[in-house]
Amino acid sequence: MDKPTYEELEKRIIELEGHALKKTFSEKLAQTLFDISNAVNTTTDLNELYKSIYESLDRLMGLPNFYIAVFEKKINKLAIPFFVDQYDKYSEYETYFTETNSLTGEVLQKKCPLLLNEAQLKKRGANGRILGTTPKIWLGVPLIKREKPFGVISIQSYDDPNYFSRKDLDILISVSNQVALAIERKQSLDERDMLKNYLYNIINSMPSILVGVDKKGIVTQWNFQAELETGVKAEDAKEKRLVDIFPRLSRNMDEINTSIRSNKIKTTLKQEYFTGRETRYEDIIIYPLVTNGADGVVIRMDDITDKVRLEEMMIQSEKMLSIGGLAAGMAHEINNPLAGMMQNAQVIYNRVSRDIPANEKAACEVGISMKDIRAYMEKREILYKLEMINETGKRAAKIVKNMLSFARKSDAVLEAHDLANLLEKTIELARSDYNLKKKYDFKLINIIKEFDPSITPVFCDKNKIQQVFLNILKNGAEAMFELKDNSFAPCFILRLYKKDTMACIEIENNGPGMDEGKRKRLFEPFFTTKPVGEGTGLGLSVSYFIIVKDHKGEMTVESTPDKNTKFIIKLPF
């Protein structure tokens, strides 16, 4: 074998060095791809990931200027979450710029890599296509996931037009898929953590007790209200038996197991429990839950003690004082005969007053004319009496309508209502009230109205608000008619005005008033100023709860003995 010449040896050495360099670079590229992939797990958020991606690429390529742009679809803008630059400062740029007026936007829009030399960049700069300092060479590669571009990575040099080449663009293209995948994974993880934190905050902000239990009765979820109720922290409750740390729920284990087996919601309403000497009530709803094949339930517990007590008070109040149920029954019983009376009165009026063929024929058959019939009717004021029957019937129908409106139970849906209109309707209803025993007639009371016409409608339950108004008016009327002074003129002053963010209603009467001791106790349940057997003392306490609890308003009373009593109601707009 011939000995190789010097030239051949030199050529071989160059080939070997090229292979070695190529192998070394391939190893570096593989390490870079690994580092970018691994950064998803080692960084705490997207900002740290962007920084880690830059550091990995900088070690591979030496990048004096680099940025990552991400497309914000909701606002149709490109954001720059990471930025490294020799000359331009990040604060000099607006964070957002449209995708159609920039190099970055062009890469994103066309979904193609872009390499521009100095001459091309100068031309683009002259056309306003470059933000900040014009570089001597610029490279941009789209970041694509599921065949849709969502961002761009870009590198550039301000000093050397030959700093990057086509080879660098190829490298950037080769790592872009891994960069896109890393960003997508990190975004998904961040979104998952954000959602997890959001749900955690919702669960712990709920006023309800929320407990998760698996099919073995082991606690899997324990919210803040459960901590407050039991005194057991969430970290101490999890993995423990429910019956051990929340004994009150031991009687519900059958429902829990049934819910798991049947995959159906189980509800226990108004369940009693005791705290010291007090009896309280709660609603318990058990929701079946299946997660990753593990059966369990979520138990929601709501304390309804205040609601139950208010309902009991209102039921008692309805029995003793409210005209609601009686009004509804009476209204329905009255409506049918009332309608018949009005209809027949109208028929009679038509038959004795109108010149229609049927009337004229019947009159002729008995030897009389319609003119003679009308003359007789007018002489005896029969037509007037028929008109009065009809008018009286209309007034009665209006009263029945108001009684039905007042008595009708609603679903406690708050709707916008004109308070002046509600007061007027309640006054009409009160005017139909006559107390035979006490010999008072509401129609004899003078009513002064001082309504601000600029008051806007208020969201409220009109039936409950009318109940409050009627209760105050009836109590005031009874109090005023207790005065035996013949010269006394009973009077209500109704005021409606706005104060800050509240609509204010004042109902003032000039009755006997009350002393401070009685005034302070007026809203207490079962406290009454009436004689024994004439009241339960629940009306005003129920009214107070309707205003304060149901409508988040205020209700107060001012009174001066032998002068007046004034109720002040405030409802939020």
Say which DSSP state 100 is in: T
Dist CA 308 CA 310 (whole Å): 5
Q: Is the dihedral of CA 375, 381, 385, 391 positive or negative?
A: positive
- The dihedral sign for the CA sequence 323, 324, 325, 330: positive
Q: Of 304, 303, 271, 298, whose CA–CA distance to 210 is shortest?
A: 298
pLDDT at 157: 94
Is residue 540 included in any domain, yes or no? yes
| The pLDDT value given to residue 199 | 86
| One domain for residues 90 and 216 | no
pLDDT value at residue 296: 92
- Last residue of a domain, which of 272, 303, 334? 303
Residue 199 maps to a domain: no
- The domain containing residue 288 runs over which residues? 208-303
* 3 state SS of 66: strand
Among 409, 426, 447, give the residue marking a domain's end: 409
d(CA 436, CA 82): 86
User: Is 293 among the domain residues?
Assistant: yes
- The angle formed by the CA atoms of residues 429, 411 and 268, to the nearest 5 degrees, is 135
* 76: nearest Cα among 43, 34, 108, 117: 108
What pLDDT is attached to residue 458?
Answer: 95
The reply to whether 369 and 421 lie within a common domain is no
One domain, residues 426 and 537: yes
The enclosing domain of 112 has a CATH number of 3.30.450.40
DSSP-assigned states of every residue in 442-497: GGGSEEEEEE-TTPPPEEE-HHHHHHHHHHHHHHHHHHHTT---TT---EEEEEEE
Is 60 among the domain residues? yes
Does 419 share its domain with 455?
Answer: yes
Residue 341 phi/psi, 5-degree rounding, is -60, -45
Check whether residue 32 and residue 176 sit in a common domain.
yes
Q: Are residues 454 and 502 in the same domain?
A: yes
Domain boundary among 375, 409, 443: 409
Q: Quick check: is 1 in a domain?
A: no
| pLDDT value of residue 472 | 93
Task: Let me know if residue 434 belongs to a domain.
Answer: yes
Report pLDDT for 316: 44
What is the per-residue pLDDT for 319?
A: 45
Answer yes or no: do 272 and 343 share one domain: no
Q: What angle do CA 538, 457, 496 make, to 5 degrees?
A: 65
Q: Find residue 458's DSSP bridge partners.
A: 417
57 shares a domain with 40:
yes
pLDDT at 402 (0 to 100): 57
Task: Compute the CA torsion angle 106, 108, 113, 117 (nearest 10 deg).
Answer: 30
Q: What is the pLDDT of residue 416?
A: 94
41 and 180 in a common domain:
yes
Pick out the chain residues at pLDDT < 50.
Answer: 1, 16, 20-21, 91-94, 316-317, 319-323, 406, 409-410, 532-533, 536-537
* Domain identity same for 481 and 542: yes
Counting the structural domains of the chain, the total is 4
Q: State residue 4's pLDDT score.
A: 52
Residues 556 and 435 in one domain: yes
Asked if residue 460 and residue 420 are part of one domain, the reply reads: yes
In a domain, 201, yes or no: no
Rg of the chain over all Cα atoms, to the nearest angstrom: 43
Residue 200 lies in a domain: no
pLDDT at 314: 60
